[in-house]
Structure 1
């Protein structure tokens, strides 16, 4: 035995695993005939740790030798290999820890993928909405949280890939564009009542239009979003003109009751230039500031999942447009702790003839 072998003797934290370097040192010392206890003292480790490691990393080697008469003799020997020990350690680490929850809920993951990929009605759900939708069906399961679902998607456990998601939040600095030539048709959003700003009651709406192809002959979707409940009201109109918008507003007042519409916040599009003729409390957002009607723009994004840009609105049946709007109103919202916009809306307001059915 060579007693002059230099081994770095450093203090190791209690409970720490052997490193690849330490395994190489164990192999050298073991070949030199050091006992397990002697190796342990050299590495400042417990002797049982060395004993367990040598057992894990010991491999069987086979050597064959052919005699002069042609007979083959086979010899077996065992030897500790630091590479074998490291490979065994890596395999054990992969199998350590608690087994993933996803292994016990294959049916849930299948249904989750169906909602995330829009296989039922072509409408893709976000992870939060899909979880709330599936909760009654899988009430006996210990369901994962939204963060866990995102982790499953990112690690490939689900069929859904990150690119398949409707959208992932991306926080980018807002660029404020100052333009002075844009006209304002009435009272500024700065004059809007405090109830509308605080979303403290039903009846304060944001308004916008959705176009398909930018053609003068194509139909347009008029969208109104209640600021408190995020409830969406849509109306298909023939043209993107102030006359058609005003006519639609009067029809909606007759359908939903004029008391519902307290204030309306619009952008500075020409189709809203005469909105004051049919409603007294109309306010206009600052030019080039769509975030001032954030709820409206967010709901437009829902509709755009099905009613895509560049495709004529006239090519969609009106029943389909109203159906998509109804799905959106029934969609579970995180901001309401899983309640839908429709549920919140009807908690605070009862329609004159009951809820509208498209």
Structure 2
């Protein structure tokens, strides 16, 4: 498998930091021999440059050819339209496969879309300004890195996640939620809730602040607006904003289970959703300026995107089906 420009940039940074080929290979999930050959082929440790190496590799390819999106204006227009709607390349690729099952000309992989956006050789294939519509908003592509979790305060009378019903794990029963805060410039924040089965997202405005007594009434009000069968459990991070968990449970009959310290993966669905929401709710913004109507519009846009996990159906479709089943 050929190295991508992002991988070559990572190699260049590793060399500049004095890392060995073996260390760089571990970081990229490649063989150390692949990294050694790449560096030797393109000038050695002292002269290696990612862009030059990538351009040379492209010119040395047996059959360099224009990208598919550069050749097919109909496909390119449709991809650009969906990018403008803030769909991810993977969502676009899956949706095309679903909508054009017998037309191979209307199929493109998510990696091909990323390459057309980020690869300088393909800059004419697609409007590279559309990188601003991606969740990261980056103009360059970087390999993923693990983020270190951070723990927060101690809460009285908490119910640990180890006591959560086993039915929550398999996602077969709807009505189990995960939640947390998405922080803006302090003390602004928005409460985020994700239903585990459908991945349906709800956003709750917190105009008063992020202390427990300021969060509890707004969170309670939203949970009470849900159909009773959809109020089964809530799993939350150990943030001090949920210190009023007993009050919420008494009002909603909805047990609240708290994750272990520094264990955000225990509510991974919500964590992933919060990353998506950064496209709309920047870290340095005052999130109090977003009204509940604004947040409902953001959630609606997110809930109507196709998801790979649902066979490229939307969370809104799946959630509506479960609500209908619950009423019968």
Normalised-by-shorter TM-score class = 0.5 to 0.7
Bigger mean CA deviation after superposition, 135-144 or 328-337: 135-144
Q: CA deviation at 1:324?
A: 1.0
Distance change (3 Å), C-alpha of 1:135 and 1:194 = same
Q: CA deviation at 1:273?
A: 0.9
Q: CA deviation at 1:340?
A: 1.0
Match of 2:168 among 191, 196, 202: 196
Aligned to 2:154, what secondary structure does the other structure show? Answer: coil
| Residues 244-283 of structure 1: per-residue CA shift (max 9 Å, x gap) | 3332233223322233111111111111011122215111
Q: CA deviation at 1:133?
A: 5.4
Distance in 1 separating the partners of 2:314 and 2:258: 28
Residue 183 of structure 2 is aligned to residue 211 of structure 1 = yes
Distance in 2 separating the partners of 1:213 and 1:101: 42
Decide which structure has the larger Cα Rg and report it: 1
| Residues 96-128 of structure 1: per-residue CA shift (max 9 Å, x gap) | x9x864455213213323433x3xxxx532102
Distance in 1 separating the partners of 2:302 and 2:230: 20
Residue 209 of structure 2 is aligned to residue 235 of structure 1 = no
Residue 113 of structure 2 is aligned to residue 145 of structure 1 = no
| Native 8 Å contact 1:213 1:311 kept in 2 | yes
In structure 1, what is the equivalent of residue 127 of structure 2? 159
Q: CA deviation at 1:152?
A: 3.7
Residue 217 of structure 2 is aligned to residue 247 of structure 1 = yes
| Native 8 Å contact 1:212 1:312 kept in 2 | yes
Task: Give the superposed CA RMSD.
Answer: 3.4
Greater relative contact order (Cα < 8 A, sep 6+) = 2
Which runs of 5 or more residues in structure 1 are unaligned? 1-89, 354-358
Residue 85 of structure 2 is aligned to residue 108 of structure 1 = no
In structure 2, what is the equivalent of residue 261 of structure 1? 231
Could you state the TM-score of these two structures normalised by the residue count of structure 2?
0.65
Could you state the TM-score of these two structures normalised by the residue count of structure 1?
0.60
Q: CA deviation at 1:197?
A: 1.8
| Residues 210-244 of structure 1: per-residue CA shift (max 9 Å, x gap) | 232103xx4x3221111111111111122313233
Aligned to 1:230, what secondary structure does the other structure show? Answer: coil
Match of 2:268 among 281, 294, 318: 294
Aligned to 1:187, what secondary structure does the other structure show? Answer: coil
Distance change (3 Å), C-alpha of 1:128 and 1:94 = closer
Distance in 1 separating the partners of 2:142 and 2:87: 15
Alignment of 1:65-214 (within 5 A): 101-102=68-69, 105-116=72-83, 118=84, 124-132=86-94, 141-153=105-117, 154=119, 155-156=121-122, 157-160=125-128, 165-167=134-136, 170=143, 172=145, 182-185=153-156, 186-214=158-186
Distance in 2 separating the partners of 1:137 and 1:176: 39
From the two aligned structures, give the one with the greater helix fraction. 2
Distance change (3 Å), C-alpha of 1:100 and 1:282 = closer
In structure 2, what is the equivalent of residue 306 of structure 1? 280
Distance change (3 Å), C-alpha of 1:159 and 1:284 = same
Q: CA deviation at 1:151?
A: 4.2
| Residues 61-81 of structure 1: per-residue CA shift (max 9 Å, x gap) | xxxxxxxxxxxxxxxxxxxxx
From the two aligned structures, give the one with the greater strand fraction. 1
Distance in 1 separating the partners of 2:170 and 2:98: 33
Aligned to 2:238, what secondary structure does the other structure show? Answer: coil
Which runs of 5 or more residues in structure 2 are unaligned? 1-58
Aligned to 1:235, what secondary structure does the other structure show? Answer: strand
Q: CA deviation at 1:352?
A: 9.1
Distance in 1 separating the partners of 2:172 and 2:243: 27
